[in-house]
Amino acid sequence: MSTVKDYQLWINGQFVPAVAGETFESVNPFTGEPVARVPRGKKADIDKAVAAARQAFDEGRWPRMSGEERSRILKDIGEKMDAASAQLLSVMIAESGSTVRKAKGEVWLSAKNMGYFAKLAAQSLEKPIEALSRPGVSKNVLRREPIGVCAQIIPWNFPLQMAIWKLGPALAAGNTVVLKPAEETPAMALELAQILADSELPPGVVNIVSGYGEEAGAALAAHPDVDKIAFTGSTEIGKKLMAEAAHDLKRVTLELGGKSANIIMDDADLSQAVDGALYAAFFHSGQCCTAGTRLFLQDGIYDEFLKRFTERAKHIHLGNPAEKSTDLGPLVSKKQQERVLQHIAAGKKEGATCLLGGQAPTAPELQDGYFVEPTIFVDVTNDMAIAREEIFGPVVSVLRFKTEAEAVKLANASQYGLAGAVWSQDSEKALRVAQQLRAGTVWINEYHLINEKAPFGGYKQSGLGRELGEDALDEYTEVKHIHIDEIGDRSKKFWYDAVSAPAPQPA
Ligand code: ADP
């Protein structure tokens, strides 16, 4: 029996149980056993957390301190995350089924990303508008100011990094936050709360409330004292939150689903491209919004590529995510495993041919885990559900194309536009294709690499707004123009004549 660790909500700098005293458990997806017991936050807990964040914003030091001061505190948080990496790693592996390699990368990058946002915090958010300012006429200043209380709702696939991508820019700009982690991975966020609690963040600047989406999440998004909703998750819930935000015009950023095209041209370096396509489709068992799930192969290399790709996919090692030799761990939950198997069944029914996988593995040592075998479909057309819908599992649809123009057309025939890639040794051609793809990130001869200095986000129904890079700060600030008059002389201000109310005569 594994031990179950108890956690509390983190509200106004205190660790507290839920108001109603209820809890729920998160489960190890490899063993099916509980790993953490966390409070089931509901509206009453959200009310407390939002009130704390509101007060910290309206009256507290955080939005008013200098950027340098905030930068110092955020840098220290990044360093504390690094120091706690062993603990963060073990919780991530146990609770989310992330493999050692994926979890190591995520913990390291999350701490590094926090360091990047710390640097951004030190930048001045105020600058003159040179084009407008004229001595003797006016001085003009552009100020970026924090928006206020930010509701941040995050998913389970990258449970630490998604928290940092949201907290980092929000805090750098001086906002306060209520964060709700996914119900599958609440312990990860509450471990982070321990680190934040040991930092110099004033009480109420960050509050973390575990709970279910339709309870805590919905109450948070609907709260009238929340100024902004930042969400990463399904397109379905993203649309709901945008509609919710419309009631009081909350600011919104949404990072939603994807069905990214990975295009392999005839002149690609095949050995590189095969590796890249395996990584694109199967990294983290396909539980990535950027996953390269539509693999477009040009006629000339179709057979050879597919042969090599399938052969390699057969040797992907499924196993205990805590063991270093494991390539793919289980999916995050039974619900997710069932969803993926349903998508696979629908693909078969639609007439696609399942070339590899297509089921939960039969090996006895994998029976307690929520595994799905790496699955390759061929004879897929772009109108089939398996080529249109986000599956979020290790399932790739292979499609054939003849010309560059056809590849671009098929790749863009999707409701999504998060990412994509093109593999070719002709750099001009590759760039030409990349420019035509309607997606927020496009890799050439590479996949999945996301850099903290570059904006990340989606076209079309993949989202709204950008995370990372300096663009992320824009998403967490309002822009203010301050006009400072230098004319002074009333007689030169002819525009005042539009209201020519005479001055009262002295009595
Ligand atoms: P998935 O189906 O993969 O779990 P979701 O989009 O449902 O993806 O979940 C992503 C995040 O959104 C989670 O933190 C979840 O709790 C939250 N969530 C789900 N439903 C709602 C909702 N109605 N309102 C607010 N948050 C929600």
Q: Which domains does the chain have, with CATH numbers?
A: 5-256+462-482 (3.40.605.10), 261-444 (3.40.309.10)
> What is the Cα–Cα distance from 344 to 25, expressed in whole angstroms?
29
Asked if the model's pLDDT at residue 133 lies above 90, the reply is no
Q: What are phi and psi of 274, to 5 degrees?
A: -65, -45
Q: Using CA positions, which residue lies closest to atom 15 of ligand 1? A: 213
> What is the Cα–Cα distance from 241 to 231, expressed in whole angstroms?
8
CA atoms within 13 A of residue 322's CA, in its CB half-sphere: 12
- Determine if ligand 1 sits within 6 Å of the CB of residue 339: no
* pLDDT in the model for residue 1: 52
- Determine if ligand 1 sits within 6 Å of the CB of residue 466: no
Contacts of 430 (CB under 8 A, 6+ apart): 265, 422, 423, 424, 444, 445
Mean pLDDT of all residues in 137-166: 98
> What is the Cα–Cα distance from 296 to 399, expressed in whole angstroms?
5
Residues 108-141: b if buried by 16+ CB within 10 A, e if exposed: ebbbebbbbbbebbbeebeeeeeeeeeeeeeebe
Distance 179 CA to ligand 1 centre (A): 13
Both tokens of 32, joined, read: 């099916």
Q: pTM score > 0.95 for this model?
A: yes
In terms of C-beta density within 10 A (0-12 exposed, 13-18 middle, 19 or more buried), how is residue 479 classed? exposed
Which pLDDT tens digit goes with each residue over 319-371? 999 999 999 999 999 999 999 999 999 999 999 999 999 999 999 999 999 99
Q: Using CA positions, which residue lies closest to atom 13 of ligand 1? A: 182
Q: Which residues pair with 153 in a beta bridge?
A: 180, 231
Mean pLDDT of all residues in 161-170: 98
Both tokens of 371, joined, read: 């595994």
